[in-house]
Amino acid sequence: MAAFLFFTSGPRTPYNNAEAQAPSLAQSLDQYLATAAKSGFSGGIVVERDGEAILKKGYGIADTANSTPFSARTVAQIGSIAKTFTAMAIAQLAIDGKIDLNAPVSKYLPEAAQPAASATVKELLTHRSGIRAECGDDFQALSESELLTKCMALPLKHPRGQYAYSNMAYSILAAVIAHVSRQDWETYLRAHIWEPAGMTRTLFADSKVADVEFAAGSLHGQRQAPIIESLRSIAPNDWNLQGCCGVESSLDDMQRFGRYLFSDTSSLSPAVRRLMLAPLADDDSGAQVGFGLYFRRDASGRLSRVGHSGSDGVFFSYFGWLPQHQIRFYFVGTNGEDAVRPVVVHVIDILSHAS
């Protein structure tokens, strides 16, 4: 799909001592991605095994405007992985007794219009509310009031209880978080998730994060500016993206988030972790869906992969955990979903067959 430019591999990150435990895995991944970079791939990966990083490295160019190499500090769009943050916020507020997962959202958003106001928090979390996928294009200006009154008043697109993926559902959840916590969605995430996890280079529209090197996308040879530039042009009327999409983060920060969520020795509340790692319903592909995560099992029924992907058609990312191999990883590519998707599929295949 993309008209590839020639990119060179980014600076090599020295492996630590943990690589000695699995040299073939780290080397296989590095060799594959370095080859992909010569054919146009740009992005990065971080892989941890048994709690230790075995590979953290950028490949290609983060931004063709200044030829900046992609690195562990590069901040790139994570797409719908933002839903995992929103879901964790809901889990925290539920454990604190501030949200009833089985209550209709009208309990927390009294101005919300029917029919969407009757959807429960759990139905929104698991994409079973019946509402449509979106209420306009990503960068179509939409206020919170318009989301709650105009968008939620639209007829249901699907039967309630049927799985149908919805960005709008998570925007409604962002409004619930804001109303219950009395903090806007991004402020809540920063105070209750990103900062406790040690994530210092993760943001939505808030520009308080300093010294940021943003990745720009590349599709058909055309540069796509970092999403924050578009968000700033419509803020605060960015409710087509709040809750569901548009967050940017670095390899370093997503590594920290993987430890925070999937490690039982982190400071995350065990009760919140149990909620986050509990499948709630089936999707339409044979997987199960829960709190902003999808759960897949092998032929014997054992849990084999937990994660979430993200894409805007240019950036494509995946955040995952392979419990049978004790592997956590995050991957992002910036040169078009059609080009990057097969790369991440092969990366997951390599990881899934780790010995």
> What's 240-264 look like in SS3?
CCCCCCCEEECHHHHHHHHHHHHCC
Per-residue pLDDT of the chain (355 residues; tens, 9 = 90+): 232 222 222 333 333 444 444 458 999 999 999 999 999 999 999 999 999 999 999 999 999 999 999 999 999 999 999 999 999 999 999 999 999 999 999 999 999 999 999 999 999 999 999 999 999 999 999 999 999 999 999 999 999 999 999 999 999 999 999 999 999 999 999 999 999 999 999 999 876 777 789 999 999 889 999 999 999 999 999 999 999 999 999 999 999 999 999 998 999 999 999 999 999 988 888 899 999 999 999 999 999 999 999 999 999 999 999 999 999 999 999 999 999 999 999 999 999 998 7
- Token duo for residue 144: 């919170």
Do residue 69 and residue 209 come from a single domain? yes
| Residue 11 domain-assigned (yes or no) | no
Do residue 51 and residue 172 come from a single domain? no
DSSP state, 190?
A: I
- CATH code, domain with 260: 3.40.710.10
| Residue 140 domain-assigned (yes or no) | yes
Do residue 300 and residue 159 come from a single domain? no
Do residue 27 and residue 172 come from a single domain? no
Do residue 219 and residue 330 come from a single domain? yes
Are the beta carbons of 70 and 59 closer than 8 angstroms? yes
Domain limits at 290? 17-78+200-238+246-352
Domain count, the chain: 2
**E-strand spans in 84-243?**
217-219, 222-224
What was the pLDDT predicted at 23? 54
| Residue 229 domain-assigned (yes or no) | yes
Do residue 164 and residue 261 come from a single domain? no
What was the pLDDT predicted at 189? 97
CA 341/CA 311 separation, integer angstroms: 10
| Residue 12 domain-assigned (yes or no) | no
| Residue 233 domain-assigned (yes or no) | yes
| Residue 193 domain-assigned (yes or no) | no
CA-based angle 114:126:351, to the nearest 5?
Answer: 155
Task: List residues bridging with 196 in a β-sheet.
Answer: none
Do residue 138 and residue 167 come from a single domain? yes
Choose one of 147, 163, 187: the last residue of a domain. Answer: 187
| Residue 7 domain-assigned (yes or no) | no
Give the containing element (helix H, strand E) for 165: none
Cα 241–chain centre separation: 13
CA 44/CA 57 separation, integer angstroms: 6
Do residue 99 and residue 177 come from a single domain? yes
| Residue 4 domain-assigned (yes or no) | no
Do residue 28 and residue 165 come from a single domain? no
Do residue 229 and residue 301 come from a single domain? yes
Do residue 234 and residue 340 come from a single domain? yes
Are the beta carbons of 215 and 334 closer than 8 angstroms? yes
Do residue 36 and residue 97 come from a single domain? no
